[in-house]
Structure 1
Amino acid sequence: MTRNAPSKKRCVSEVWIRRGERRVAASKWTLTESLVSKLVDPTIFATSSALIMWAWFYYPSQLPKAYTKWISSAAAVDSRLIEALRRCHNGELRYGEETGQAPLLQSMCADYKWPPAWGDPVKSIPFPCEIVHMGCGSSCEYHALSRFYRSFKWSIITYLPLNLLARKKNLKGFKIALLSAIRSSSFLAAFITLFYYGVCLARTRLGPHIVGKDIKSRQIIDQGLCVGTGCFLCGWSVLIEKAARRKELALFVAPRAMATLLPRRYSLDKQWRETFVFAFSTAVVFTCVKENRGRVRGMFGKLLGAVLEP
């Protein structure tokens, strides 16, 4: 499935662009369609991100190892906390019942100098949100701000050198590179922050007031609702990026999200499906390059343009 991703992404984009052009030419492009056109890329990105983050949290084997490693590096979370929530999801860790799970988070409590009782699901129902904050105190809002600052600093170290390399070596180029790096770093920092704050919203701020505060409700929240809320919120950070960049990001993550739902390898008798999609998508991309090369942007567009030149 990975080899087909670039062609499929550009195929979908081209179909939508051509439909829009026909509707505008016929004066049938409505306000609703205009709104959908603006929201389709953020929605694709947010939905794809939700699927990817859900898979990263509960089913990491569905993602490529390098991708899982990069997300883990950006998330900067204690693996014991993830494991505790996974065990809640799988039913191994149950509030109010002795199932032998206390040592997992109690070791974390010892490292952070918290009361050992915080890590015992029999005594602490639910685990304090301070455990999720990992040393940032009890305030969910302060933890969110702290996450944004740390994530932005981590991101800018990566994005700024890359943007500087891609721009002209003058003052104008430096300014453009700096603004682009700040925007991209803010987007990634907001992505991480919204994920964590979504967890806090479900566990502490809103969840208990909507779902309930009894043991069963607390189990439901930590069983998947808190992570699901974070997954739902994080992808909307893409609105920070420019419209053109949103499209690129949406079409970058969509195939990876699909890979969490579809098999990564097809049996021999079903590989014709992948071959057909690849052939059809390639035909669309090649036709687009011949008719209007500007629609296939980036290095891929330049490469195909050079290859298909008479």
Structure 2
Amino acid sequence: MSVHGVQRCRAWLARVLPTLPDDPSHPTQVALRTYALALSFSLGPALLPIVTSFASKKKQRTAWVKLGKTLKRELRYDGFASALTVSVGGAAALRHLWTNAVDAEEGIMGVEPQAGSHGLLDGLRRWLHSLPLTPVQVTFIVNLFASSAGIFLLQKGLERSSKTSAKDATRHSPTLDLTLLLVVRSLDSFIQSLILRRVRPRNHIHSLSPSENEEEHIRMIREKLDREEAKQVNEKRQKMTQKVDAFLFWICSSRIMWCFFYEPYRLPRSYVKWINALASLDERVPEALRQIRAKKWSYIHGSQNHADLLHNCVPSRHGVGGLPCDLIHGGVEKRFCLEANCHANAALRGFKAFGQSLLIYFPVHFIPILLTRPRTLIRPGRFLSTTLGTLRSTAFLASFVALHWYGVCLARTVVLARIFPFVSHDFWDGPHGAMLAGSLACGASIWIENGRRRGEMALYVLPRALRTILPGWLARNQGWKSRAVERIAFILSMSTLLTAAIHRPDSLPRIISMGTGLCNEWPERWVLET
């Protein structure tokens, strides 16, 4: 092709293809960023096991099939990325149209419509301009419309994909976890707006007379002092909230771990599989614990229907009754010949969890930076701080696992069961015994994390803890009442977050935890996909 032909081709492309606006708040820019980020969170965990399957020649054919289904599911108009883009990008577009309509009305105020002009459009502009709405109310209203379209689109896509999957996938609403996540984040935003003092924006100085300029200078000095005072007050209040975050995490994690052993159906299926992967648990243990709780299996009275549940277990309790240590420990320390050593069990579980947690928290810490500020990782200081944060979070999760099992052993073997030998192991292995003690002990690991991450982890576990206390009719994907309640919660929560992001960004000091929370979904979804 000649040079003239290339120039004509470029000129044609410039006319056909729209230019991308430079304004980062433009709806097009917002929609593109939202789609790219949402697609990475939804498609990334699903592609990881497929990519690893291509390494095996036996699994390549099935891997291609899974790849096609996954791409079709995530890239459809009703996929997660598209639905979220409709909610966020659609709200930006509606707000942009509203603002332009009001600005146009202000430009034609006092001008009579001429013959042949767009009288209906001018009337609509005047009507919008006459509405007694503040900018915050306008933003919230357009967010309501966009979020409504987004949740209907998302539920349609998930219902369509669930028809081709297992039947138990429809037991709970497929959007329940996302809805609870948004509810928790919106409540956090509301609480933060009440706790934090709002910092006044700095106004631009126009050309003023000498006396007015002096008054303006004094006013700016006062505002600067107010901003510094507000900053100090907010720092103190945030330190106080870190203690509340730690307590909230402790309560929620205790509830989640207790439900994992006794009521796993209340937790997301991917979450249960993920905890199973970290726990290295003998499958007979939770079954025995649930039978003891239901009083269908007892150390005192025995059980006719479940007598063979533990018939292959060899007791090694050294004068203490209850389930054998070998069974509870899950064979973690067999290679070291320390099957009955509770201290070694906790330590080895912690070391094993450290290696598994490192694979989890590496993407949690690095992916948000790679998606938003990848150049900052070139700096040695930034890279080192991110690496240390990864190791700190890894130590947190490893100690979480170790403390849980150490609390179990201290209650049923090492300390409490020996201090109170007259208490039956129907209690120690029951719902209010050793497993409850371990569930309460593991939450203390949150103090290993730094203050900011404590809040993120509290907001991460809170939706799952809330799910465990929901009534069955609301959690299940059945009936118009449950769908209506969930849709209203989704719409109001999403609208609140989007409105706060525009008009009260200081109430979202932990808004990055929204992305971190989605990154935390990666290991769960990866386990579910595999």
Fold in common (TM above 0.5) = yes
Deviations 1:49-68 (A, max 9, x none): 11211221111222221111
Q: Which of 126, 137, 140 is residue 339 of structure 2 equivalent to? A: 137
Greater relative contact order: 1 or 2 (C-alpha under 8 angstroms, separation 6 or more)?
Answer: 1
Give 1:118 shift. Answer: 5.2
What is the alpha-carbon distance in structure 2 between the residues aligned to residue 72 and residue 191 of structure 1? Answer: 14
The code of the aligned residue for 2:322 comes to: P
Gaps of 5+ in 2: 1-175, 199-228, 517-530
Residues 291, 297 of structure 2: 8 Å contact kept: yes
Residues 198, 229 of structure 1: 8 Å contact kept: yes
Is 1:285 aligned to 2:497, yes or no?
yes
Q: Which residue of 2 aligns with 1:181?
A: 390
Q: 1:155-304 maps to which residues of 2 (within 5 A)?
A: 155-160=357-362, 163=365, 166=370, 168-169=377-378, 171-208=380-417, 212-214=420-422, 216-224=423-431, 225-262=433-470, 263=472, 264-265=475-476, 267-293=479-505, 295=508, 296-297=511-512
What is the alpha-carbon distance in structure 2 between the residues aligned to residue 59 and residue 299 of structure 1? Answer: 28
Gaps of 5+ in 1: 110-115, 302-310
Residues 129, 203 of structure 1: 8 Å contact kept: no
Residues 249, 458 of structure 2: 8 Å contact kept: yes
Q: Which residue of 1 aligns with 2:179?
A: 4
Q: Which residue of 1 aligns with 2:249?
A: 45
Residues 160, 177 of structure 1: 8 Å contact kept: no
Q: Write 1 or 2 for the structure with the bigger share of helix.
A: 1
The code of the aligned residue for 1:129 comes to: C
User: TM-score, normalised to structure 1's length?
Assistant: 0.79
Q: 1:99-110 maps to which residues of 2 (within 5 A)?
A: 99-100=303-304, 101=306, 103-107=308-312, 109=313
Q: 1:43 to 1:68 in 2, by over 3 A?
A: same
Q: Give the number of the structure whose alpha-carbon radius of gyration is greater.
A: 2
* Equivalences, count: 286
Deviations 1:90-129 (A, max 9, x none): 222211334254543343x3xxxxxx3559xxx9732343
Residues 316, 340 of structure 2: 8 Å contact kept: no
Give 1:194 shift. Answer: 1.3
Supply the RMSD in Å over aligned alpha carbons.
Answer: 3.2
The code of the aligned residue for 1:99 comes to: S
The code of the aligned residue for 1:268 comes to: W
Residues 42, 239 of structure 1: 8 Å contact kept: yes
Give 1:289 shift. Answer: 0.8
Deviations 1:70-95 (A, max 9, x none): 11001111112222222222222211
Query: SS at the partner of 1:104?
Result: coil
Q: Which of 338, 349, 358 is residue 147 of structure 1 equivalent to? A: 349
